[in-house]
Chain A
Amino acid sequence: MIEVRDLVKTFAEHRGDSVKAVERVSFKVEDGRFYTLLGPSGCGKTTTLRCIAGLEKPDSGEIEVSGAKVYSSINGTFVPAYRRPIGMVFQSYAIWPHLTVFENVAFPLRVGKHRFRNEEVRKKVGNALEQVELGDLGERMATQLSGGQQQRLALARALVREPQVLLLDEPLSNLDAKLRERMRVELRELQRRLRITTLYVTHDQIEALSMSNVIAVMSAGVIVQEGLPRDIYMRPRTQFVAQFIGSTNQLGGRLLRVQGEGLGVVRTEVGEIACGLMNDLSPGADVVVVVRPESIVLHRKRPAETINVVEGKVATVMFLGEYLDCSIELGKNVLQTHQPHSLQLRRGETLWVELPPGACMALPSENSSKES
């Protein structure tokens, strides 16, 4: 279990000003869960992770790891990194180049308060290496391993002490695409098998969506939305989250009226659009309507008895293998949509575009709210 309350961390810059890397972040990772901090680079994910690890001293807040307070600004508790029950995988892997594979993994067992006897060390290291399928490479120098193997070595080293929690800082970002896909599966499998509480940091939405139990989306030092992967994707609560996760179309407009349970009508440049409402918006508010490219339906003829249908013109069609990526002009606005490649589309063709109300969502516009 990891619990973080009101974590604040500010860095002093060289010229006197300071960067607020983390601003009152709170979250809780339940035992055995896989929790992901997702956000663009520079939003404070690593800093949060390092505060939990004890590599960085926060300005204020409280951190609890498996029941024990490791940091609290209230009574000044600060447990040093090497006393915290954690295993950590660094973005650079941080494999020690002067040690063999075996010695790298054995290191955590040879330092600290609790020392292990040699045969125990051998058994535990052997186990850890087995787990990550590096069993027979123990005697190699660590630098002779490939990128993927180094990544697994780092994982074995983090796990060998059987820590209560595992912290992973973008562990897959240095691998090539194919390997990354495979490691995603393997890493998650391993986590399930060991049932180890895991905090994962990434800027890659696919990783976050596919691996996590819970995702927290961060932006500029704060958590903007926390939830199940499906909710984060389907029901983004802010324009930022909608933009950051997956690709989205946005239509600016003004909320005309609210129609009962979370439904409303928005006047946009392309016409009135009925859509879902997540936040407490009142008529007259500036909003953006977001809709995912794969939710848009195209019709050759104007469908009868359907709302949210707009006339458009095919601007570009791109064949991407799995699907067709088309952009459709609706007056000045352009919508991006993914369509099955069985569909025959020509540039310049006129079409009817259906924006299913269930897939459209009105969110408060962030640009205008900043201006006012």
Chain B
Amino acid sequence: MSTIALPRNVRNTVPLLREPALLVPLVGAGVLTYLAILPLFMLFVGSFQVEVAPREFALTLQNYKAAYTSEYTYSTFKNSVIFAAGSAGLTFLLGTILAWLVERTNTPLRTIFIPIAVVPLILPGVLESIAWIFLLSPKFGYINVALMYLFGLESAPFNIFSLPGMIWAHSVGQVPLAFLMMVAAFKSMDPSLEESAMMSGASTWQTLRRITLRLLMPACGSVLLILFVRTLESFETPALIGIPARIYVYTSEIYLAFNEFPPNYGRGAALAVGLLLLSAAGVWLYTRSTREGKRFQTVTGKAFRPRQFDLGPWRWVGFGFLMTYFLIVVLLPFLVMLWASFLPFFATPSWDALSKLSFENYQYLYGFRPFWRAMQNSILLALMTATAAMVLTSLVAWIVYKSRLPGSWMLDFLAFVPITVPGIVLGMALILLYVAFPIPIYGTIWVLLIAYVTRYIPYGMRSASGSILQIHSELEEAAAASGASWWETFRRVTLPLLRPGFAAGWIYICIVSFREFSTSVLLATGESQVLSILLFSMFEQGQVTVVAAIGILMILTLLTIVAVFYKLSGRVGIQA
């Protein structure tokens, strides 16, 4: 007989008392199926139909033909792959160098860069792209203008409206993610593995190359994969830079099919199914690779005090890298946004322009009704999504990990499904579902609420299950053994212990909902307009300096949410 006891937390404790009526898990399964499965089913059905909500049910392959045998099929595929692979590579490179310098070397001032490196997380993807258009547009981009002036160049050295431009603008926004994941990987590496290499006579450089990098290989693979998938799913940069530059990827093709007149839902659905399969394959590979990684035990989940490499004089090169990253990637986009928001029309920084600075854009927004409506919608949606998603996922996580009910793993799976669904695909699926839906919620913010909650269930699930798993069952059992009934135990022990994880998940979902773009772009219209989409359409109409002002207000709102939240919840860390 094996002598290894199962971890306590998967053992149930007081089965009889703990078994809430079978109703709760059933309702949970119902809600999750409705949110995660039904739209995908409708999307799948829709991709084989001639029209939305047909009077007669007839299957056809013509949508797939239109989607995958057109003259654009090959170029879209090529662009998508180059965009995703290029972004994954660049993001990974920048994130890894940053993480290594900060975590594992003696680069001067490295500790203050840890919070700085994640600051760009607060900048919505749409704004990141707009800021880089301001900086690198071949016609008026500040960096181009400055370089042409300094070096007397004939033409602009950079062109943001190109594939490399898209890759750059998208990558710099994703670097914090890669940074955080690599920091975690570096942290969980057992330093004694490197020390024993040194004791075997390997030099610093040899150790780095032959031990450190080798050990990190599995982690690197999964980070690259997740970055690839996320880029493939993203629509911010493809919308703001790709569409004007006529560089189309899968997400923009879906959007364009939707924007034809009349909307070509069928082709959109067929494209969406393809993208969904791609992304699901990526996620599947990712979960497999991380599981493999665990098997090889390079990542032990334990935090070690890592060894620091002495870079010698090279540490100033490292410092230079960190400074450059800070100035160009973190600071510059904020500054250019701020500057532009005070301009009546777009102009290069100069003494002349300085005298034109004014609050005109902000005054304009003050009286601009659509802005207030969008602001209100965005804030409401962020608060409601975060609350609904966290309540739902806390319950689900509790059922999955604490009740021994048969089949509760199904709930876990259902809650994981949305992670494979790209935002724009979810938008497409929800359109197909709700256009024909008996309850008229299409075109209201309720559809957006449903969309956001669905999208962020996996995130909520992660922080909820994380904190539920951390509650050692014996903590709850001790309450029962002290005479506390099930409800007393839940209220006095379980809930208080859950609070930090709940709070961390809540704030994260709040932030990402507030800036959500790729689902909203298909679902938000008129009364249900949200900020990120308002920003997008006004930018398309050329009101760039007003857009900058909206962007600044958006950032301020996000910072306020975060600040208020920290104030209320005391010491709670954000989970990335």
Contacts and interface: CB of A to CB of B under 8 A. Distances in A.
A370 interface: no
A113 B488 CA distance: 11
Given A41-B3, A54-B14, A55-B13, A96 B478 contact: yes
A81 B486 CA distance: 10
Interface stretch (B238-246, B347-355, B489-497): B489-497
Contact of B474 (A40, A56, A94): A94
A282 interface: no
Nearest to B12: A56
A108 interface: yes
Contacts of B13: 55
A111 B485 CA distance: 8
Interface residues of B, number: 28
Contact of A90 (B478, B484, B485): B478
A107 B479 contact: yes
A157 interface: yes
A37 to B, nearest CB: 15
Given A42-B1, A78-B16, A92-B472, A157 B485 contact: no
Given A57-B16, A98-B497, A92 B483 contact: no
A348 interface: no
A94 B478 contact: yes
Interface in B448-477: 472, 474-475, 477
A336 B474 CA distance: 42
Contacts of A88: 477-478, 481
Given A111-B488, A111-B492, A81 B480 contact: yes
Given A96-B475, A96-B493, A112-B485, A42 B2 contact: yes
A78 B480 CA distance: 14
B15 interface: yes
Interface in B54-101: none
**Interface of chain A: mostly helix, strand, loop or mixed:** loop
Contact of A107 (B5, B472, B492): B492
Given A78-B16, A92-B474, A108 B483 contact: yes
Interface in B8-31: 8, 13-17
A87 interface: yes
Contacts of A157: 478, 482
A112 B483 contact: yes
A266 interface: no
Given A55-B477, A96-B475, A108 B482 contact: yes
A330 to B, nearest CB: 33
A372 to B, nearest CB: 22
Contacts of A40: 3
A96 B484 CA distance: 14
B4 interface: yes
- Chain B interface helix/strand/loop/mixed: helix
Nearest to A87: B481
Contact of B479 (A83, A86, A111): A111
A220 B1 contact: yes
Contact of B477 (A57, A78, A81, A87): A81
Interface centre among A19, A90, A91, A97 (most CB of B within 10 A): A90
B472 A94 contact: yes
Interface in B313-360: none
A251 interface: no
Interface residues of A, number: 36
A82 interface: yes
A56 B479 CA distance: 15
Given A57-B15, A57-B16, A80-B17, A161 B1 contact: no
B12 to A, nearest CB: 9
Contacts of B474: 90-92, 94
A270 B474 CA distance: 52
Contacts of B479: 96, 107, 111
Nearest to A108: B482
A97 B476 CA distance: 12
Contact of A41 (B5, B478, B482, B485): B5
A41 B1 CA distance: 10
A110 B2 CA distance: 40
Contacts of B488: 82, 111-112
B502 to A, nearest CB: 13
| B2, B479, B482, B488: residue with the most chain A Cβ atoms closer than 10 Å | B482
Given A54-B14, A96-B478, A96-B493, A42 B484 contact: no
A48 to B, nearest CB: 13
Given A97-B497, A98-B497, A161 B2 contact: no
Contacts of A250: none
A297 B493 CA distance: 59
A111 B14 contact: no
A277 interface: no
Contacts of B481: 53, 55, 81-82, 86-88, 158, 167
Contact of B484 (A46, A92, A107, A154): A107
Contacts of A55: 13-14, 477, 480-481
Contact of A161 (B4, B15, B478, B482): B482
A355 to B, nearest CB: 33
Among A80, A86, A157, chain B packs the most CB atoms within 10 A around the CB of A80
Contacts of B492: 107, 111
Contacts of A83: 483
Nearest to B485: A82
B539 to A, nearest CB: 48
6 contacts: A83-B483, A90-B478, A96-B475, A96-B479, A97-B497, A112-B483
Interface of A: 19, 40-42, 46, 53-57, 78, 80-83, 86-88, 90-92, 94, 96-98, 107-108, 111-113, 154, 157-158, 161, 167, 220
Interface of B: 1-5, 8, 13-17, 472, 474-475, 477-485, 488, 492-493, 496-497
Given A53-B481, A56-B15, A82-B485, 11 more contacts: A41-B5, A42-B3, A42-B5, A81-B481, A82-B488, A86-B481, A87-B481, A98-B497, A107-B484, A111-B484, A112-B484
The 6 A-B residue pairs with the shortest CB-CB distance, nearest first, are A112-B483, A42-B3, A108-B482, A94-B478, A94-B474, A111-B484
